Amino acid sequence: MDLLNPPPDLYGRPRADTFMRRLTAFGDRYSPALGSPLLRRNPRRPLSRPTPPLQLAVSARRRLAADVVELRLADPSGGPLPGWQPGAHLRLALPSGRERHYSLTGDPADRTAYRIAVRRLPEGGGGSVEIHDTLHPGTRLTARRPRNGFPFCAEPAVLLLAGGIGVTPLLPMAREAQRHGLDWRLVHVGRSVDTLPYTDELRALDPRRVELRTDDEHGVPTAADLLAHAPRGAAVYCCGPAPMLTAVQRALGGSPATALHFERFGAAPIAGGAPFTLRLGAGGPALDVPADRSALDVLREARPDLPYSCHQGFCGTCEVRLLAGTPDHRDRRLTPEQRAAGAVLPCVSRAAEGETLVLDL
């Protein structure tokens, strides 16, 4: 757009707009004045310090169900831990350097320890196996402060739907619902009773509100079966495997429930990706993007300040400009004109095997 001539009058009168002219003059004086005394950050004030990571130690470990262990994590010097609310998770840095998120499953009122429960997944990325095999009472760990991607809003009627280990964030919600006298139900689904953790703790809250539905006894439930447990107008909180969540989302409209809460995990797994190469600037360094990682992930290692947000190709925050190469656009945001002008969203877009994308970075 034209940034030299101030915009015309709003009502078509033949003169530049007075208000715009005054604003422009104000802006042209204000910007360069910033930095002078009184119009700057007090230079004697120290810079804000980053929040340090939490230092934790495993204080207890117990087996909860087949393949599930629970860890209590406490401050090694016995101090109180930062508070949290139901639905919050902890990002743990394991001794191997792996980072993993686990929902907090204890009682938020207990500030002496965090509780997490971990199912052993031999086919997974190795984090759960490392926890099962190497974390014992006394092991030191670091973690980020609890953050909440699944907040509990305490609606008057709630249905908590747990798939297997997905019960972990729902247990503190059930406790809070019971404490506040809400009309709550919890349905826990899984293969068999011996695989379901926390059955006793849930039943201790109110046995009539907790239902176990195991595949070996009742068959695999449909989403409609699960949602039929909802009180009219209830809010559903669902945590379980992705197919369960998708089915519940689809079936919600025909159920007595009116609201659905779930934890959103940004990036979807990459389907049909091939390895390719990114080059940062025409003569810049080359980065290899493996088939199972996004271009954004690889770019962020080289450029930690690169902005991004949705990881799914719809918000456009991570847009970069292409200098050469043929991209495979997989976003839902860019218009054909923007693509023709070289815009690419590296959070989802890729390239054919062996191709090199040269980016203006």
Partner 1 sequence: MPRSTPVPALAAPAARVHDSLVLEPRDVRFDWDRLPLHWIPDEPMATHVINVLHLLLPEGERWFVKVFKEALPLIRDDQLREEVLGFIGQEAIHAEAHQEVLDHLLGQGLDPRPYVRQVAWLFRRVLGDKPGLGPARRRENIIERVAFIAAIEHFTAFLGNWALNSPGLDRAEADPTMLDLLRWHGAEEVEHRSVAFDLMVHLDPGYLRRVRGMAVSGPLLVHLWVRGARFLLAADPTLHGRLKPTWREAGRIAKRGLLPDPVGSIRSGLRYLRPGYHPTQEGSSSQALGYLATSPAARAAAGG
Considering only residues 188-227, where is the footprint of partner 1 by CB under 8 A? none
Residue 24 vs 192, nearer CB to partner 1? 24
Binding-site member from 66, 107, 142, 148 for partner 1 (CB under 8 A): 148
How many angstroms from the chain centroid is the CA of residue 184? 26
* Bridge partners for 357 per DSSP: 278
Residue 140 vs 147, nearer CB to partner 1? 147
* Bridge partners for 162 per DSSP: 188, 239
Cβ of residue 174: shortest distance to partner 1, in angstroms?
A: 15
Q: Is 34 one of the binding residues for partner 1 (CB under 8 A)?
A: yes
Contacts with partner 1 in 149-188 (CB under 8 A)? 149, 151-156, 180, 182
Annotate 123-176 with DSSP letters as a single string: TSSSHHHHHHHH--TT-EEEEEEEEESS-----SEEEEEEEGGGGTTHHHHHHH
DSSP SS3 for 218: helix
Q: Is 332 one of the binding residues for partner 1 (CB under 8 A)?
A: yes
Name, in order, each residue with C-beta under 8 angstroms of 242's C-beta and a sequence gap of 6 or more.
Answer: none
At 53, list the tokens: 């990571």
Asked whether the beta carbons of 180 and 156 are under 8 A apart, the reply is no
Cβ of residue 361: shortest distance to partner 1, in angstroms?
A: 14
Q: Is 269 one of the binding residues for partner 1 (CB under 8 A)?
A: no
Q: Is 266 one of the binding residues for partner 1 (CB under 8 A)?
A: yes
Binding-site member from 66, 129, 224, 259 for partner 1 (CB under 8 A): 259
Binding-site member from 14, 15, 35, 285 for partner 1 (CB under 8 A): 35
**Interface with partner 1: number of residues (CB under 8 A):** 73
Residue 204 phi/psi, 5-degree rounding, is -65, -25
Residue 125 vs 307, nearer CB to partner 1? 307
Residue 138 vs 336, nearer CB to partner 1? 336
